[in-house]
Amino acid sequence: MALWMMRAGRYGEYEQKFVKDERFYITWDELNLNLAELNSKDAFLNVLHERYPMEKTNKLRNWTAQLWAASHEIAKGDWIVLPLKSQSVVYVGEVTSTYCYDQKAVAPYFHSIGVKWIGENIPRQNFAQDLLYSFGAFLTICRISRNEAEERLKTMRKHHWAPLSDGYVVSPADSDETTDIEEIARDQIIRMIGSRFKGHELARLVNGILEAQGYHTFMSPPGPDGGVDILAGTGTLGFGEPRLCVQVKSQDTPVELKEIKALKGAMQETQSTQGLFVSWGGYKNSVKEQGSFFSVRLWGQNELLAALFKNYDKLDPELRADLPLKQVWTLTTEE
């Protein structure tokens, strides 16, 4: 068995199709030909030069290696890791059918690999840091082989994808791949929030963000809250609209649709105009598919971090002391 990592578009734009179809699509634009018929990497490189004449040779060599792996090396029984961009979770699939080309498919879905999902919505923080460095590689397709990665993921699967403390501590400089520094930084922030803001503390962080956004808030004390962690409103004493009813879940497991329905019931009881559900563990697909955009907003880790970064300078000093962050600038790396 080999372990691979594949991405669903630069911005995660193909994630839901990958997940629903249980297929990894190779979404290079204008590449509507059967890659399995190219019997050498030189043949690949020649085709890529023809299809993408404006691209540099080094980039095309990089693409050649990735496309060759997808069409000639990934085998039935291999595992493929899909790190999502829309949520801070990872899917793991076992290959059930190797590369196939469908000439009649709608672009860019000509090329695909079939899988069955053996791990869904696994929180990124469950994986050791060296594995996250590999998941952050600046590649669309790559093999992950260092530090016994395959065996460690097998062990995680036996333990229902629970965090594995296996002693591997590796810095980005030790990685075989060019890694995404921004993604590494986000993973570190996520780990800190996950450790320092468990339970009611995560509601305290969300409450601080809402206050920084200009809301007057009331936060329920620790303990049973009846489906309401925070009430927030604008204007004098918070009597203005919108009036928010907020539920915060710090658990690592994804929230189900019944919990969203419970929030809607709490909204009616509190006469709130909108709801905000914050789930550290993300959401089941059934939640994301139901339409509540204008009544309930869903924050996962990505949305919470975006709100945190935007309002960090306005947070209470005590919160900033508990979560010390500093903004830095860095050059982007060419794909």
Task: Evaluate if residue 267 carries a pLDDT over 80.
Answer: yes
> Binning pLDDT at 50, 70 and 90, where does residue 64 land?
very high
> Binning pLDDT at 50, 70 and 90, where does residue 178 land?
low
Q: pLDDT tens-digit profile of 123-145?
A: 888 998 889 888 888 889 999 98
Task: Evaluate if residue 307 carries a pLDDT over 90.
Answer: yes
In the chain, what is the greatest distance between 2 CA atoms, to the nearest angstrom? 71
**Amino acid (one-letter) located at 27:** T
> Rg of the chain's alpha carbons, rounded to an integer?
22
> Binning pLDDT at 50, 70 and 90, where does residue 172 land?
low
Model pTM above 0.95:
no
Task: Evaluate if residue 327 carries a pLDDT over 90.
Answer: no
Ordered by where they begin, the domains of the chain are 3-179 (3.10.590), 196-322 (3.40.1350.10)
Task: Evaluate if residue 170 carries a pLDDT over 70.
Answer: no
